[in-house]
Structure formats: structure tokens, C-alpha cells
Structure 1
Amino acid sequence: MALNHNHSKICFVAVTCMLLFTASVKAQDIYAQYRQSWLKKAEDFKPKLTETVKQPIGLVKMEKDASAFQGWKAVKGNGIDSLYNQSFKKQSGVVADFGEHLTGYCTFTINTLRGTQDAPVRLKFTFGEVPAELSVPFDPYPGGLSRAWLQDEIITVTEMPATITIPRRLACRYVKIELLGASSYFDFHITKIQFKATTSVTTTPAGLAAGTSPMINDIDRVGLTTLKECMQTVYEDGPKRDRRLWIGDLYLESLANMYSFKNYDLTRRCFYLLAGLSGDDGILISNVFETPEPHAQVGNRLLDYCFLYNVALKEYVAATNDKQTGLELWPVAKKQLDIARKYAGADGMMDYVKAGKEWWVFFDWKDGLDKQGPLQGLTVYALNQTYQLAKLLGKENEVADIPALAKKLKDAAHKNLYDKKQGLFVSGTDKQISYGTQAWMILSGVASKAEAQKALKALPGVANAVHPGGPYMYHYYMAALIESGLKTEAKEALQNYWGDMVKKGADTFWEVYDPNDELKSPYNFYPVNSYCHAWSCTPVYFIRKYPDTFQN
């Protein structure tokens, strides 16, 4: 018995040690030697925000109009003094218009007009980027995201006079003020509504070429405003909702920034933040927060965004020749290639079924989009772009297997996904035809130029083709048109899609826009959509990078 007991103890100790060792290995942080340096550099590159005080330009009334965006329009009303000079009790529900999209903090002054304040006053402020946000009831709330993202705030004023700054940072053009409760024994008025607007932008880009069409000028102007509003202390995805740094938005914002504001320190800050907050296994987390201290949304991994980090870093190094940043972050870019190696099959096809089970694979807000084609194309693209980055940095020897892997996946894509009869690329077991698949087959170089042109020209005639769900995928469709040499079609597409938003009154470009469904929302409630969204700003990039196409 004693022998068996001792043997059991020895086995228990051995197993325990082995488990502890295994846990230690699993918990090992492969970037341990770099993280603090990366996070310090991210902090060093943090911009100081510029602040500009803005005043309302007047009052507006929200009216139903079936022809207006989402069925509501703002109709010009009285001057702002009509609010300031009268009892607020007679004006509950008034809407002030700042005339432009702003991100920052709202302040107002409240004071008695007659009598003595004998009870608190309760007010409700609702801030909206578009008219429908102030016109559609928020409750009962049907949305899939937190109700707290909606910008309505209840303020209780216990003493007057008072100047009050709403503590929450807001993003809006319009503010509606309603009276929820007040004593009948005294009267009061509201004055001096103002907005302290913030952005990290400090420069004004050059104007477009003389003779550029008014519509292209308008699209560029709205795109620049969208980018400016999202350029806070990181490239935010949307200043109203989410308000954090996502890799996919970083990529597109950094492209637009290269051709406009040229704030490269902000780009570097974002690269270093994402690297410093990546997983212990070296794989990037899709998004990160800045406050109360920098931290990632743990567990939120997005496969296509990991690849796009590499593409964004390559574009940045190529544009700036900042090889130091590239070299310091090269370990991160190199590590993301393991994702491609893991899911690439012996036949050269990415195992998109397995990847879809183990990852969030995004590509677009579009229900029903088959992602085999986009994943295959993006993987080839990311492999080639990362190898180009390696060549810029003199690191080709560290990824010597990548050109052959990229070719293998490229050849397999053409063999398995190209339908010669239709002249289109298909995706998945149902052979789905989508704009997303065509875009990524073209950008990756799987399609020849002739095949690319044929596919893109055929797409509009395919009745069941899956269209882009929003501006994010539309960017890649635009890029494919340009890559294919279809300049006329590219200009037409830009004017039809983003120009349509301009025609519908956009001050900034929207997170989601389907010309056939203005109420579309991935979150089951369109007022919670972001109406100033980073991934929608890329007309700035196209218009300014390709002036011969868009400014003639």
C-alpha cells in the first residue's frame, strides 16, 4: 500500500509539473521584449487635439418627407436668438442646427426669467448626425447593440444660473432639447449653446484641379470631413458609435490620409497600439480602446483584418520610406502569415469552412455573402504585399516560402473559382457570384486584365449577383475597377454611390448605405448606425491619387 501511495504521489507531482510547464508555454508572450517599447511609441505619437468652439447657425424643424433620406428632412426655422430670448417652456422640442458635423462636447447656459427657482429642471438632449435620429422613437429599443450608444442625455439642473457641459463626448449636427419637468412657479430660458469640436487634423489639403466637376468636388469635401472627424487620438471607426481603432478602418483611413492631411504620426500611433495590444500568441486583435488605459477587445479576432494590417504597413513604408517603423513592426507582420500557412490546403485552396468556424471572417456587412472567393483573393494579396514589405526592409530571407505559397494559391483560385463560360469568378458550393469575389480576384492578380474587365462589365447584368453591403466593400470594388483600367466605369461608380449620399444631404459619409434600402442596419435599428464612418472616406484617396481619372 505504501509503495502504491508513493507511486501515486510521484505520478501526481510529475503530471502537475507537466501541466504547469504546458500552461507556461501556452502563456508565453512572443512579443514580450517589444511590447513596452511599442506602447511607449504609441503614446509618444499621440496627437494633441485642436479645439474649435462652434455656435448653432439657427433652428430647424424636422418634417416627414418620403423623398428625403430615411423619410425625414430638416426645414430651416427661426434664428437661434428666438430660442435664447424666450421662455423655454414654450419651446420644448426645439432643434438647433450647427450646420456641419461636429465631434466634441456640448455646453449650454440656463437662467431664470422670472420668479425664484423652487425645484429642479429636467431636460432631455438628443444629438443627431442625420434628421431621422431626432425623429424616430428610440424606445422600445429593438437594436442589437447597446441602447446606450444612442445620443440622448437627461440633465437635471438644481441651481440657476448654471453653465453646464455634458460630460459625454458627442458626434452630431443637430441637437433637440425637450423639457421633462419644471415647476410652474418660475420661468427660465436656455442660452449660449455651443460645441467644442475636436480633431487631430491641423492642415488643409490642396484643392482639386481647376475644372473638376462640382459633384467630384462635393464628394471630396464630404470625404475630407468624414476623415477629419474620425481622426481623433486614433483613427476612430466612428466618432458617434464604437469610437475605437479597428484595423480595417485604419487601413482605409491611412490611405486617404496619405493623399490629404498627411498626419503620419497618427498612422504610426495606430500601428504601434495594435502591435502592443496583440495577443500573446502574436496574432492581432481586431480592435483596441485607448481609455482608461490602452487595451484590446479581448477575444475579438478578425481574420481579414490581420492580413490588412500587413497591407497597411507596407503602404505606409512605401509612401514614407520610414523603414525604422517597418523594421520594428516586422515581427508582427511576419507572424500574421502563419494564418495563411495554417489554412492553405495541399490543393492550394484556403479552408474557408474551417476558418469560418474558428474566426470572425468579415469582408462586408452583407447577409448571405459567400466568403470563399474573397478569402482566397485577400490571402494571395496579403502574401504578395507582405513580401513586398519584406523586400523594402531587406527581410526577404525570413519569408522565402511566401512567393511560392502565393503562386500556389493564385493558380488554385483560377483553376477552381473561374467560370470561363460566364467570364466570372464564383465562390462556395453554390457557385455564388458577388462583387466581393470579383474585387478580390482582381486585386490579388488571380484575374488577368482581360478577365478582370470582362468580369466587371458582366456583373451589372447578373440578376442574382451579391452587391456590396456598404461603403467598405464598395471601396474594394472601386479599387478593382481602377486596377482593371476601367477608368470611366470607376468615375461613374464613385459619382453614383458616394454622390448619391451627397445628393441625400450627407455632411459625412455613412457606415452603411444601400441605395435600395435606406433603413438598412446590421444592428436591427438604423438610428444606431454610424453616419460619420471611417471606412466611407476613401473617395478622398481615389480622387486625389488618380487625378486623371476623377479630376478631368
Structure 2
Amino acid sequence: MDNKATWIWYPGDFEVWLGNKFNNRRTERGAMFPPFWKQDSHYVTVEFSTAVSLDKAETITIAAEGDFNFMLDGKLQFGMPGRFTVPAGDHRLNFKVHNQSVPPALYVKGRTIKSGNTWLATYEDKIWIDENGVAHGSGIYVPAASWTFDNIDTPPSSYSLERTEMQPVGEEQTGKNKWLFDFGIETFGYVRLKGVTGMGILNIYYGESREEALDMDRCETLDRLDLRANRFAEEEVEIVLDDSKAFRYVMVEAKGMITFSDVAMDYEYSAFSHKKSGSFRCDDRRLNKIWQVAAYTMDLTTREFFVDGIKRDRWTWSGDAIQSYLMNYYLRFDTDCVRRTIRQLRGKDPVTAHVNTIMDYTFYWFKSVLDFYQYTGDIRFVREIYPRMQTLMQYVIGRLNPEGMAEGKEDDWIFVDWVDFPMHKRGTLCFEQILLCKAFQTMHTCAEVLRDNPLQNPPQGSITTAEYAKDADRYGKLAADLKAKLKPTFWDDSRSAFMHAIEDGRMNRDITAFPNMFAIIYDMVDDDDKRRIMDSVMLNSDIEPITTPYMRFYELEAMCRMGYQERVLPEILGYWGGMIGEGATSFWEKYNPADEGAEHLAMYGRPYGKSLCHAWGASPIYLIGRYFLGVSPTKPGYAEYEVRPVLGGLKRMQGSVPTPFGEVRVKMDATSVSVKSDGGKGVLVLGDRKYDIPVGKELRIDRF
């Protein structure tokens, strides 16, 4: 059994429940704004079970989130006991927990009997009791889920982020009974009003910019504190607002006979559990600043889940999240948050719509599982999530056209990117087929991994090795067949590029960067075609430019994969450095250098609609760690990895990349490279030369 008892629940239920709380916190000017996609619920009744063999009687302590019954060897016991003595011998313990409001969870602690992830869970209510009081029947069992809830007094429903009080750096009166507070930097948390006395109304207006906080009629978020019936009107009280908000500036307007002495905030943050973090320093001060702002952006958008933007949406989006995961692998290596977000995005069966209703976001979701396995080596998670990969893929396949390609249906959202040029998203888009092909490849790889790593004693109802093998063959063929169709269907050899889409049976011959750069990143063409795409599309100024950090992530990754770091570095300095030049303290949802002044704040037809702290804006974390420091796993979980450092126009750089075993530290200048690693089997690659990296000792190569 596990060394310590912990709270357990049905896999995914905690994330579904927490996600519902999380995604429904969005407000627009004080109005609740729920997500517009299907929201699932946790299973309200879950059975937990384990088998024990005791050399002597053992008393256990029992706690549950919900009402529960307890069966010992198939016989129901009286009531809901908080303590119970299990006699010596071989026994089976079954607990059935019911809770409508929070996920049913169980905590059992004895000398040797301790709840943990060796226990089994099922939501299948197939157990019946005969005339002798003996239980019969079975369900589909899976290993119970657990996390860090190891104390009986801290069940899963008590989970919350950390808080610390912070003070504004500036204050000014902007009108009669109006005060503006500047916290100096984009931040997130709860406004704390101090020394409140009297009766009246306090209006609080939030702004990521000064302009937004001062614009009472059009700012995106606000609060209203009605104290006209204040029972403590003659006392000074301190009030912490109930709802967290994103802001740099806060304007407080006092109406009526009410005053306050000061404003502060409770900064809310996620405390990551990994002991090591990524770092970077180089000779270019602007790039150092970009890395720091990108890291801060990631920390702000790493919450209960990886969120897109902290001000406006505050939702989990699969397209945003897959980039957050990759950046996280090079910054905090917070694998707990990755697992939570992947589970929450997937939700429950039956599947009735694409993830976030967006077809490309479904395909990214599959890829995120493969990335997670590559960086962590966590087969257990792949095995847990695979049945939901299967049912989601069945939904995808059921909606393919007769040619086996993905087309948007009437109720699908085809996103691709926010663009500043006309781009139709109708019909059969080449971009979507490349993402679908990668999703097929992901299913093939995951099925192979699970086929080759079978459980010794699989729970009843588990997918068999033969079924994994069948899936591997099926999805391998689907991937190969679709890949083989890409060039004959979409490639224009005279223009050395993939065309946009088939619309109403005719080819839309527009050429954009989107399918072409993904063809490079996902290896959908050979090296010769990759080089042709670089010349004809990626380095062609006649191709419409990308103006979102979201797709600049992939654009610059494609260039780095092709060895163009010396061209990527000025792009990072100009694009992300441009945002810093405009006063950004975290990176934005979108940045068009041609915009001026207040144009940088507007989006979606609203003057302050743009998110000025958006997860996909933190791309430099990944690009620098992966393609400049050059660290990447070549076998799952960094069991084997390589370091391919590239200065890319820098004179010197140094940094570290977090891994499951600690850090890989890289230092490079024009004449030397050194690498030091805490574990794994690493190889330093310099041109056509390779050097084994020792564990715990510095490898230094001079005059390479």
C-alpha cells in the first residue's frame, strides 16, 4: 500500500468540478458570462474498493465528501462509521460515496490500510445485494485519482490558490470622490479596501491600462459594493472583494457618506511544485527583459488551470493551453497543472461537440497528450486518458467527409487564427488536415506505448493489449493514408507551397503561412520541400503577415527547426520588444506594430477588448529553451535528451531547463560550450560532432 493516506476520487471528476467553478467566474461589466460550450458534471455516486490481507485486526479512520456506505466482504455495515475495525485475514473493502455538489471523495487511514491510487474506482452502479446481504455484480474499474490532499481536514473541495498582500506604487485623485491606484505592473487578485466607514456605494473600475480604469462607461470589468445599509457605519472595517480580477490600475469612486483610508490587493498565484525552474541570461539586455516578462506572463496565466487571458475570458482554451504546456516545460515544469487542464478540457462522454467547439482545438488536444508523454514519460496518465482519446476520435472520424478529411460542420468553429486580411474558413482547409493527421499519429503512438507497457494486474474492464495493438494499426493507417493525400490534394508545385482550401469542389489557391509552417513542424513533407516552403512562404514578404503571438509561436518554431535562429532573434527582439516599448509588463493577445496609441488596447470591436496578459504571448520561453539553449527530450521523460545550442546572433548566453530529474544547464559563447545535468542520458550536439553529457559533472568543449 502507499506510504501515506490521501483523498481519492474518480479520475477527471475533480478537474471537471473545479473547471466549472473556474470557467464561470468570467464577468463583463458586472454581468456573469458563462462559457458557450458544453459543461459536464462529476459523477454523483462513485464506488471505491481495495483488497487487504491483515496479519492482525486493524482500526481505520474513514472520512468522505458526501454520504457513504461501507461494505466489508460484500456485506453492508451500519451507518457511516468514522472508525471501523477490520479483522485479521483477507478482505475486500467497498465504499460507495454520493455527493451532488462536489466530487465524491474518500479518505481512509489505518496502520496499513490507506486510501491512495492503488485503490480502484467506478461510477458503474451495477452492484446488487442478494437475500443473504451479499453483494454481486461488477463495473468498469479504473485506478482512483489522487493529488496532494493528504490531510483528512483538507479534502479536494477545499482547494484554492495562494495569496499574498501587495500595495500600490502610486495613487492620485482623478475627480470628486474618485481615486486611481497604480500597482505598477499587470497583476491578478482581490482588491482590499481598508478603513471603510459610513454608508454608501463604492464603485471599483479595473484597467489593464490607465485609460481603461478611468473609462467608467467602457472598462471591461468593474465591481459595485453597496453599503447603504452598513450596520458598522461608525466603525472602520476592512473589506476584501469576493471576486478576483486582472488589472494594473484600479479606480475607486465613493458615492454617499462613505470613506476609505487605503487600497491594497491580495495577489493570487499558483505555487508550482517542481523544485527547479528555467532561467536565461545573455548579452542582449532587451532579450533578457523579454524572457523575464514572458516568464511573468506565464506565471500570471498559470492558475487552477492554464488560462488564456486573465482579464477577459479567464477560460481554458485548448489552442492556448497546448502552447502554455510547452512554455511551462521550459519554465516551471508544473506537470500537475498540465494534467488538470488536459482532463478539464476533455470533460466527459458522450462527446457532442469539438473541444471549445473549435475543430482545430480538438486536434491540438490530442497533440497535447503526446507532448506531455514526451516531456514527462508519464505512462500512467496516458493510460488514464486514452479511453477519452478513443471516444473523442470516434466523434472526429464520424464527421469526416467521404475523402476522409475534416470539414467544418454548421455547429463547428474553425479558428486557425485572428487575421488582419480576408481569409475564408469554409470547406476542406489544408491546415486542418495537417492537424488531423498529427492527431491520428498521436493516437497511433499512444496505442503503441500502452500496447508495449501492459499492466501486470489490469482492473476489470480495462482495454486489453490486443485492443491497443488493433488501435495502433488502425490509426497508423489513417495517418499514413491522410499524409499521402496532402500533396496530391493541396500542393502547388509551381509555387512550392500548400494552397488554402477546397471550397464547393474548387481549390482556393490562396497561400498563407498556416498550413505551410505546420507541414514543417509536423514533418508532413521531406527536407527538400521544407526548404522550398521556407523560400516561397516563410521568408516571402508577399505572404500576408501574422500579427498574433499565437501563430508567431509556430511561425518562429518552423524557422528555428530549419536553422534560422539568426533571423528569429531579430523577430523576437522586434515583436516582443515592441510590446515592451509600448509599456507592456506582460505580453498581449495580439500586437500589430502598425497600431498607434489606444489602438493597442482595442479588439473585438471594444476599446479595451484586447487581453494585455495572454498565455500565448509568452512564446519566447519555449523558443529560447528549445531552440537557442537547444534542450529537448529524445526519449520520454528525458530518459535520453539532446542539447543543440545555437547563439543565433548572440555573443553569449546561459540558462537552465527543468526536467523530471532536475535541470540541464547550458552556457555558450563564441568559443566554448558547457553543459551540466542532474540526470538522464544526454548528448551535446555541435554540428556533426556529438559528446556524451555526464551526470552531475560539467562537460566543457572549447574551440568547437
Q: TM-score w.r.t. structure 1 length?
A: 0.74
Query: 1:152 maps to which residue?
Result: 222
SS at match of 2:242: coil
| 1:317 match | 373
Matched, 1:536 2:651: no
Shift of 1:171: 0.7
Alignment of 1:367-378 (within 5 A): 368-371=422-425, 372-378=429-435
Larger helix proportion of the pair: 1
Residues 401-420 of structure 1: matches in 2 within 5 Å? 401-420=474-493
Aligned residues: 458
- Whether the 8 Å CA contact 1:373–1:441 is kept in 2: the answer is no
Q: 1:399 to 1:347 in 2, by over 3 A?
A: same
* Correspondence list, 1:264-343, <5 A: 264-275=335-346, 277-281=347-351, 286-287=355-356, 301-338=357-394, 341-342=397-398
| 3-state SS, counterpart of residue 176 of structure 1 | strand
Q: Provide structure 1 residue ranges, at least 5 long, that are not aligned to the other structure.
A: 1-28, 60-82, 140-146, 288-300
The answer for the alignment partner of 1:96 in structure 2 is 181
Q: Which residue of 458, 474, 477 corresponds with 2:555?
A: 477
- Tell me the amino acid that sits aligned with residue 182 of structure 1: G
> Is 1:498 aligned to 2:573, yes or no?
no
Secondary structure at the counterpart of residue 467 of structure 1:
coil
1:337 aligned counterpart, secondary structure: helix
Aligned to 2:238: 163
**Structure 2 gaps, min length 5:** 1-42, 44-121, 125-138, 150-155, 452-467, 502-506, 630-644, 648-652, 654-667, 669-704
Contact 2:278–2:330 under 8 Å retained in 1 = no
Which SS does the other structure have where 1:101 is aligned? strand
- Report the secondary structure of 2:298's partner residue: helix
- Determine the C-alpha separation between the residues in 1 that align with 2:192 and 2:143: 37
Match for 1:545 among 616, 626, 638? Answer: 626
How far off its partner does 1:135 sit?
A: 4.5
How far 1:467 moved relative to its partner? 3.1
SS of 2:543 mapped into structure 1: coil
Q: CA 1:35–1:432 in structure 2 vs 1: closer, same or farther (change >3 Å)? A: farther
User: Which whole-Å deviations, capped at 9, do the CAs of 1:340-398 have from their partners, x for residues lacking one?
Assistant: 534555656x253xx24342121212363344121121112222233223333323432
- Select which of 258, 266, 270 maps to 1:196: 266
- Partner SS state of residue 203, structure 2: strand
Give, in whole Å, the separation in 2 of the partners of 1:54 and 1:305.
37
**Alpha-carbon deviation of 1:231?**
1.3
Q: CA deviation at 1:197?
A: 0.8
Cα distance in 2 for residues equivalent to 1:485 and 1:339: 38
Counterparts in 2 of 1:284 and 1:41: CA distance versus 1, 3 Å = farther
Matched residue type, 2:194: T
Q: Which moved more, 1:518-527 or 1:168-177?
A: 518-527
| Deviation for aligned residue 1:463 | 6.4
SS at match of 1:107: strand
Tell me the equivalent position of 1:211.
282
Query: In the alignment, which residue of structure 2 is the partner of 1:178?
Result: 253
How far has the Cα of 1:472 moved from its partner? 1.6
Q: Could you tell me which residue of structure 1 aligns to residue 410 of structure 2? A: 357
State the Cα distance separating 1:404 from its structure 2 match.
2.6
Higher fraction of strand? 2
Does the 8 Å contact 1:512/1:520 carry over to 2? no
Contact kept, 8 Å, 1:370 with 1:432, in 2: the verdict is no
Rounded Cα–Cα distance in structure 2 between residues aligned with 1:136 and 1:171: 16
Give RMSD over aligned pairs: 3.3
Q: Distance in 2 between matches of 1:42 and 1:35?
A: 22
Contact 2:443–2:472 (8 Å) recurs in 1 = no
1:492 to partner: Cα distance: 2.8
Provide Cα deviations, 1:285-325, integer angstroms capped at 9, x if missing partner. 534xxxxxxxxxxxxx2211111111111111121111111
State how far apart, in whole Å, the 1-side matches of 2:516 and 2:552 are: 12
Relative contact order higher in (CA < 8 Å, ≥ 6 apart): 1
Amino acid of the residue matched to residue 193 of structure 2?
F
Contact 1:222 1:507 (8 Å CA) reproduced: yes
Give the superposition deviation at 1:137. Answer: 5.9
Distance 1:436 1:151, change over 3 A: same
Evaluate the alpha carbon distance shift between residue 273 and residue 430 of structure 1 in structure 2; reply closer, same or farther with a 3 A threshold. Answer: closer
Which of residues 494, 502, 525 in structure 1 aligns to 2:606?
A: 525
Q: TM-score, normalised by structure 2?
A: 0.59
1:393 aligns with 2:446: no
> Is the Cα–Cα contact under 8 Å of residues 247 and 305 in structure 1 kept in the other structure?
yes
- Check whether the contact 2:601–2:607 (CA below 8 A) recurs between aligned residues: yes
Provide the identity percentage: 22
Judging changes above 3 Å, is the alpha-carbon distance between structure 1 residues 278 and 246 closer, same or farther for their aligned structure 2 residues?
farther
Question: Aligned partner of 1:168: which letter?
Answer: D
